[in-house]
Structure formats: structure tokens, C-alpha cells
Amino acid sequence: MSTNGQTNGHDATSGPPATVGEWAPKTDFNYEVTDDGVHWEHNARVYEWDGDEGEVGPEHPELEAALFGPPEERGGHGINFAAIAEIKVEQVGVTKVDPVRSFDTAGLHPAMLKNVQLAGYRVPTPIQMWCIPAILQGHDLIAIAQTGSGKTAAYLIPILSRLMGKAKQLAAPRPTAQDFREGSARPVTAEPLVVIVCPARELAVQIFNEARKFCYRSMLRPCVVYGGGPLRDQIAQLQRGCDVLIASPGRLVDFMERPGVLSLRRVKYMVIDEADEMLDDGWRDGFTKIMSGGEQDEGDVKYMMFSATFPAAARQLAKEYLTDNHVRLQVGRIGSTHSNIKQDVIFVARELKQDAVFDMLTTMPPQRTIIFVNSKHAADQLDDFLFNKNLPCTSMHGDRTQREREDAMRSFRAGTTPILITTGVTARGIDVRNVMHVINYDLPSMEHGGIQEYIHRIGRTGRIGYEGRATSFYNERDEGIAPLLTMTLLETKQEVPDFLSGFVPEGGAQAPLVFDDDSDDEGNANGTSNDASASGWGTDAPQGGHQPISEAW
């Protein structure tokens, strides 16, 4: 509960309606709207297959515009392809594939190729160059990759492309759109062909939005389910038929246990995205249930895992379910993908942080900004403070309802409130175009994510090939993270401020950067982050461990 008047709502009567700096006047936000259904992201429109003939349905210009957005804002717009091309991909497993350099020659289904063009994707990103052929050739896959690399499309494009030609034979029966219009539709059990499991609700919605684009004009019907959204609504969507299901693990298991709602018996592709965020001992049983939920014959289900690191639990799961000859990709190296983000660390005493952030916001040109804090209370407080100073802000944290989070995200995305104050966990996976500035009002502590969390956070800006800026407030309470922060600054060729100079390792930037990450891998992680393997395969609870993500489920 925010103290600024209403539940995360801003009191319209407080303060003069002035502008601050060049920021637009604050916009009031009403969470009292109750036209349920319309605003829930899981109810977003999808292509409704109505035909019996062929594999590709008719065009639907209005839906097309809604799915893909205005032409000038589609995929390739503003992207710095030189920066993308620099992201290195290494194949580290025994099975190798040849990369594809263009979508045209990748062997995609014509309807998929058309959707890729509509999305404005002109050139595959490096992870797509390898993932697309690997998946089209029918391999299982593990990829160490982060949000921002284009990984969602890297699995959606080939998986959906392969299914497009076969949807008629494979997909479960479902009511037609016509039946729905007439009200004669009978509900069915959802029997998806593709299941994508991911940790955070916001990320699930983002994947769903990508899936809605790539399923356009196909028989494949995407759905998303996640904790916090209304059960009845989500079940109603499933009962219309579901071929591609994006789900958070808790809600997925819940639905699997309800009779007649969801069966995994037809699953052909199982994708575990951001695996390191989900797999801990507490979720072992849940994942065993998910991974073997369909009880298909061995080899019938293709498994794909994407993760920023590969902790022991993820490796164990991979060992149990993936074929021995799966493709292993290492995409980029943790710091190197962030060289397009200008990072500043400035010393700010604790009691001056509010003033500092206000001064910073009002002296910079208005731009979409995410401010990270370390507690729900701090998020509420800062939201109040900035709002009362007439800055267009909103906030989000684990105590907000799902509805409130979606409203906050929508308002941030639309630019109505271009300043978003959030805790790190809640913001996991957020992909909003044109986030120009990330401010670490509080730096993550070593107990809650450490440098890994810092890297995740600053990665919200500078998304594929865009320039971004990250500013972090530092004071003596942040000494725990100082050594790794300094190394990250060196590694990403940033200036090290004087107050951190004591943490520069002997030999300066030339010295190999040794991360203390208690590796226990199957052989190739050596704890040296100059080596492409260091960030990944064997890193358990990297640099301070992960924050529990239970609040996101």
C-alpha cells in the first residue's frame, strides 16, 4: 500500500499540476476501473483460426496492426546492428550446427517468414543464427543467454515454424471461432504442443506477446497463464484450445492438477526459460511433474533450456531430460554485452539519495527510466516523494496485485508514467523498448543477487544494440559488492570512480578478472570471466546467490 493516497494510485487533488523540468505533467492513475477482462494481458487478442483449408489463414489487417504495431516501430527500428554482431556465440557441446545468416535462407515455413518480416526482424541476432538451425534440425538445446539477446524469437521462430505445417495432424480438437461467436462452443481440455515455462509473470506476458505475432495466420493458438491472474479467466482461455502455452511454474502445476483443464500429453516442445531463476531444491518436484507431464515416449519431446547461468539444479535437470547429443550454446559473455551501456557509479550518502535522484531526473532530458530499490517500503516511499514533486512516476513490487502490476507496466510502456520505481525481483525480464536510463537507487546487496542482479538490472537498458545509461548510488554500506562492481566496470571498459580505486586488482584492467563463483562444473568453468565459459555452465549461486523469486510466482 502506497502512502500517497490510494493503493498505488496517485491522488489527483494533491499538488499543483505543474511540469517539472521538461517532464510531462503527472498523469493520474486509476486502479479502481473494474471492467475486468479487457485489461488482463492474458486476454489480449490472438489470431482465431476459422478455416478448414490449407495451412495459412487469411490476413486480418486490423489484428495485424494491433499485433505488430506501427511499421516505424517494428523490430529493426533504431537497432544498432554493429553492436549485435559483436555478441559472440560459441558452441561448446559435441553436436555442432552451421549458423544461418539470414531468415530467408533458414528454411522457415512461408507463413513464419512473413511474420518475421511483419515483426520487422531483418537480420537474425547471433543466438538466432544458431538456435534456428539447431531446433529446425530437431536437436535438444541448452543456451546460456540473457534477455535482450533475442532469445525468445530464437526458440519461438523455429518451433512454431516446424509446427505450422503439422498443426492439423498434431493439434487437439477445439471449438471454432464461429462456434464461439454463436455461443455454441463446448469447452475443451487444453493440450498444448509447446510449453514455455518462465519464472516471472511479466516475462510470461512478454513471451506471449511475441508468440501472438509469430502464430499470426496459423492454426496455433497461444495462451498465457501465471499466478496472480484470475483463475476463471485463464481457464476460459485454455478451454478455447491452446497449442502454445506460456506459464509460470506454480500456475502450470496447479492447472495440470485440475481435472479437465490441461494435459501435457501432446507436448512436442518444452522450453524452460530463465531456468536459473526457477530451479532450486524447493521446485524439484514441481519440475519433475512438468518435464514428465506428458509421459510421451522418449525422444518425442524436444527440450530446450535457456539460462543466464547453469547452477547444479539446472544441470541435473538437463542431464535427466535432454538427449546426450543436445546442442550447447554460450551466447556472449556476461559483461561484454553491456559495453553499449554507459555505467556511472556516484557516491551518495544515504540521507541524500532522494534529493540526488530528484536532481538527476530534473537535470536530464526526460527519458524512460527504471529506478531500482531494494525493498517494497523504499519503492512506496520514493514513489510518494517523486510523485509529490510532480514527476510522472509509477511503482511496482511484490505486494501489488497482478492487476496493479499490469497497469503500472502498461502506463510505463505507453510513456504515460515514464519513470518506474521497482524492486529487482518484480522487474525481472522486463523488456520495454527505449528504456534509456536505469538508476540503482539502492545497489543490490551480496545477499540478494549481488553482481548478477546488478547485471540483470542494467540490462533493462541498452537492449539489443540500443545505447543505454546506468547510474548507481554508492555509499559505505555497499562495500560488499564493491570488488565485483569494480571488476565489472573494468571489464566493460567503464570509468572507475576514485572511491572504488582501492578495489582495482593489481595489474588493472589487464589482469585476468577472477570471479569467486564456486564453480563445480563438468569441466569447463574455470572461474575466469575473461573466458567465455566463466559465466555459465558451472556457476552455482553466482557472486552472492540469487534472490528467491517466490514472490514472482
Provide, rounded to whole angstroms, the least separation between the CB of residue 432 and ligand AMP.
9
Find the angle CA(339)-CA(344)-CA(350) to the nearest 5 degrees. Answer: 145
φ and ψ of 547, to 5 deg: -70, 140
Q: Of the candidates 4, 8, 125, 533, which one interacts with ligand AMP according to CB under 6 A?
A: 125
φ and ψ of 402, to 5 deg: -60, -40
* Sheet with 302-307: strands ordered across: 89-91, 327-331, 141-144, 302-307, 269-272, 194-197, 244-247, 222-225
Give the residue with the Cβ less far from ligand AMP, 427 or 464.
464
* Residue positions counted in the chain: 553
Provide, rounded to whole angstroms, the least separation between the CB of residue 119 and ligand AMP.
7
User: Residue 234 in 3-state DSSP?
Assistant: helix
Query: Nearest to residue 29, comparing CAs of 325, 435, 414, 492?
Result: 414
Q: Is 249 in the site for ligand AMP (CB under 6 A)?
A: no
Give the residue with the Cβ less far from ligand AMP, 124 or 241.
124
- Window of 25-33, 144-152, 162-170, 413-421 that interacts with ligand AMP by CB under 6 A: 144-152
Query: Nearest to residue 80, comparing CAs of 330, 335, 367, 339?
Result: 339
Provide, rounded to whole angstroms, the least separation between the CB of residue 375 and ligand AMP.
27
Give residues 441-470 in contact with ligand AMP (rule: CB under 6 A): 463-464
Provide, rounded to whole angstroms, the least separation between the CB of residue 148 and ligand AMP.
5
Give the residue with the Cβ less far from ligand AMP, 195 or 391.
195
Give the residue with the Cβ less far from ligand AMP, 45 or 101.
101
Provide, rounded to whole angstroms, the least separation between the CB of residue 20 and ligand AMP.
30
Give the residue with the Cβ less far from ligand AMP, 424 or 429.
429
397: cell is 513490487
- Window of 27-35, 147-155, 298-306, 442-450 that interacts with ligand AMP by CB under 6 A: 147-155
Helix intervals (H) in 334-428: 353-363, 376-388, 402-414
User: Residue 532 in 3-state DSSP?
Assistant: coil
- Window of 142-150, 373-381, 475-483, 494-502 that interacts with ligand AMP by CB under 6 A: 142-150
Residue 438: beta bridge partners?
370, 470
Q: Of the candidates 23, 49, 121, 310, which one interacts with ligand AMP according to CB under 6 A?
A: 121
Provide, rounded to whole angstroms, the least separation between the CB of residue 150 and ligand AMP.
3
439: cell is 538508476
Q: Of the candidates 2, 4, 115, 147, which one interacts with ligand AMP according to CB under 6 A?
A: 147
Rounded to 10 degrees, the C-alpha dihedral 405/411/415/416 comes to -140
- Window of 119-127, 291-299, 339-347, 533-541 that interacts with ligand AMP by CB under 6 A: 119-127
- Window of 53-61, 105-113, 148-156, 171-179 that interacts with ligand AMP by CB under 6 A: 148-156
Provide, rounded to whole angstroms, the least separation between the CB of residue 65 and ligand AMP.
17
How many residues sit in the footprint of ligand AMP (CB under 6 A)? 18
Provide, rounded to whole angstroms, the least separation between the CB of residue 124 and ligand AMP.
5
Q: Is 130 in the site for ligand AMP (CB under 6 A)?
A: no
Query: What is the distance in angstroms between the CA of the first residue and the CA of the last residue of the chain?
Result: 20
Burial class (CB in 10 A: 0-12, 13-18, 19+), 50: middle
Give residues 414-443 in contact with ligand AMP (rule: CB under 6 A): 431
Q: What DSSP state is assigned to residue 8?
A: S
Query: Nearest to residue 425, comparing CAs of 410, 411, 405, 407?
Result: 405
Give the residue with the Cβ less far from ligand AMP, 2 or 147.
147
Phi-psi map region of 65: left, alpha, beta (phi>0 left; psi -120 to 50 alpha): alpha
Query: Nearest to residue 544, comparing CAs of 424, 443, 449?
Result: 449
Which residue do the cell numbers 496472480 mark?
A: 228
Give the residue with the Cβ less far from ligand AMP, 125 or 440.
125
**Sequence-distant (≥ 6) Cβ neighbours of residue 402 within 8 angstroms:** 201, 226, 227, 228, 229
Q: Is 337 in the site for ligand AMP (CB under 6 A)?
A: no
**Sequence-distant (≥ 6) Cβ neighbours of residue 54 within 8 angstroms:** none
Q: Of the candidates 10, 29, 112, 124, which one interacts with ligand AMP according to CB under 6 A?
A: 124
Provide, rounded to whole angstroms, the least separation between the CB of residue 104 and ligand AMP.
13
CA distance 5 to 42: 29
Give the residue with the Cβ less far from ligand AMP, 198 or 264.
198
- Window of 136-144, 146-154, 382-390, 488-496 that interacts with ligand AMP by CB under 6 A: 146-154
Q: Of the candidates 93, 126, 133, 150, which one interacts with ligand AMP according to CB under 6 A?
A: 150
Q: Of the candidates 149, 239, 422, 440, which one interacts with ligand AMP according to CB under 6 A?
A: 149
Whether 467 contacts 339, CB under 8 Å: no
CA distance 390 to 412: 16
Provide, rounded to whole angstroms, the least separation between the CB of residue 553 and ligand AMP.
20
Give residues 52-111 in contact with ligand AMP (rule: CB under 6 A): 75-76, 79
Provide, rounded to whole angstroms, the least separation between the CB of residue 127 and ligand AMP.
8
Provide, rounded to whole angstroms, the least separation between the CB of residue 436 and ligand AMP.
15
Q: Which residues bind ligand AMP (CB under 6 A)?
A: 75-76, 79, 121, 123-125, 128, 147-153, 431, 463-464
